[in-house]
Amino acid sequence: MTQPHQPVRAEHDSAVELLGQALNPDQRSRVLFVSFTQWDFALGALAEIALALRAQGAALTMAFWTDRTPLRDPGWSSSGRLSKLLGKSSRDQNAIAALKAAGVPEQSFISPPLRGWKPSAPIAITAPMNRTQIRALTYHGSPMGRAILQVNPDTETPITDSFYWSKRWLQAAARSYAFVFDQTLETIRRGQITAVVVYNGRFLHDRAASAAAEFAGIPVLYYDAGGIDTDFDVTDAVTHDWSDLQRRMLAMYEKWPAPQRDEIGSSWFEERRQHIAPNNALFVEAQRLGETIDVANATRVVVYFSSSGDEIAELELDWSTFFGTQEQTLQLLADECRRQPGTTLVVRSHPHMRMKPKQDLVEWMQAVERAAPDIHLDPYSTVDSYALMEQADVVVTYGSTTGVEAAYAGRPVIVMGPSAYDQLGCARFVATPDELSAALVDTPVGSKQAAISYGLMMRRRGLMHEFVTRDPAAGFSIGEQRLDDAPILVQHVGHAYKRLQKWRLSR
């Protein structure tokens, strides 16, 4: 028999304690959960938070609306209706049954309240749009366009403004956002809801639900995956609030026992450096451990590690604090390196570009060609990124994780774009050409302990389950009720439906 997932020390000791700090008694009196994803870890986190709040006396309202949205969510995998026709249960239905068995009342589970729903505000999409035009779309003042841009019509949708998204797709996505916004807001009003809990807050429907809560003036909690060793995370900070995340890193490192924190945090880096970290395998699978480049005649080697563009394009940041796009940043760096005698610029293009839209790769390669570095390692290069760091006199990034990894390796690091480590003390952030020029000449090695705090957070972020059981083989369960997914046939039909819907709306 498989042994249950063994508890480890996590960032937080208890969901009950953490939620008690995040919400005051009034705020946690009537809490709404709005769910659109069927990923197992997400439903496990939802159930854990719900039961932790119930243990504190909260009245729960549970809105499992995965099957109700006009456009299917990225986390939707199976139809509850089809599962029922086959005499089976979908993952949502299993989660509902488990929560009921754990004592959540039947009346807590609700359907969308507005029957015959129509958008409560105009949706002005009459033609195809590019990213800049989509980004400007709002619904009751909320950033609907940014939410739409998180749900691509297909895997070949580039981030360039020269690409125009299908009008039909945009209209469907906008209607789906509006549906969730209106239904969530009406639920808040009718139920006198005091707080809302959603998954991640990044994707279309979760973002609409959180926007409705913000419109109503009530707090929002976001749950997500935990660290490598932990079960889940929950926070009142919006997704990609990297300042908040870095404050957590430093606070976590400060309170952790000294011998353990360095060992645990360092292990995150060492596994990646040895190419044995499962969640980094996709990036290093084409690289040969220890392979380097020939820079024998270089006086000083500056290595630029690019970031994956689509992962930073829609972050809600003050972009005026950065140099511009990553392509503009690279050009600025290349020009400055040419002005400094004896400097060799090496550009390492992100390996993930191999899996990105073809147009994005083409435009990035054109940008590299214009910048004309001394050496360019394309996304298919077999050179080991970690060995390359060791060869660098200075590492420069636009926010790539390689920046903090280089800091751990004892290299001076310059950050020119948004990152999750620029406030830790392990890297130097620059925002002007003069700052860049000075930093290339004199950037000290940052704090290795600060870098290790990043690794500690990556391993132990969030919490362990108390009410939910996680088994590596059997998945998640509450008591005897497992949170299994629908039968494989139903899942296949669901995937086919999503592909067909995307194809139809993208024409």
pLDDT at 1: 31
Those residues whose C-beta lies under 8 Å from the C-beta of residue 450, and which sit 6 or more positions away, are: 250, 407, 421, 424, 425, 426
% of the chain surpassing 70 pLDDT: 96
34 forms beta bridges with 63
Element (H, E) at 255: helix 242-255
Helix or strand or coil: residue 419? coil
pLDDT at 314: 59
Helix or strand or coil: residue 247? helix
Helix or strand or coil: residue 301? strand
Residue 98 has pLDDT above 80, yes or no: yes
Mean pLDDT, to the nearest integer, of 319-339? Answer: 88
Q: If we measure between CA atoms, which residue out of 396, 440, 160 comes closest to residue 300?
A: 440
Tens digit of each residue's pLDDT (9 = 90 or more) over 403-432:
999 999 999 999 998 889 999 999 999 999
Token pair of 308, please?
Answer: 């994956």
Tens digit of each residue's pLDDT (9 = 90 or more) over 352-395:
888 888 898 999 999 999 999 999 999 999 999 999 999 999 99
What is the distance between the alpha carbons of residues 281 and 284, in angstroms, rounded to a whole number? 5
Q: Identify the architecture of domain 248-459 in CATH.
A: 3-Layer(aba) Sandwich (3.40)
Class of domain 15-114+181-226+463-505: alpha beta
Strands, E assignment, 105-160: none
What is the distance between the alpha carbons of residues 341 and 334, in angstroms, rounded to a whole number? 12
pLDDT at 4: 46
Q: How many residues does the chain have?
A: 507
Q: CATH 3.40.50.620 spans which residues of the chain?
A: 15-114+181-226+463-505
More confident residue, 250 or 399: 250
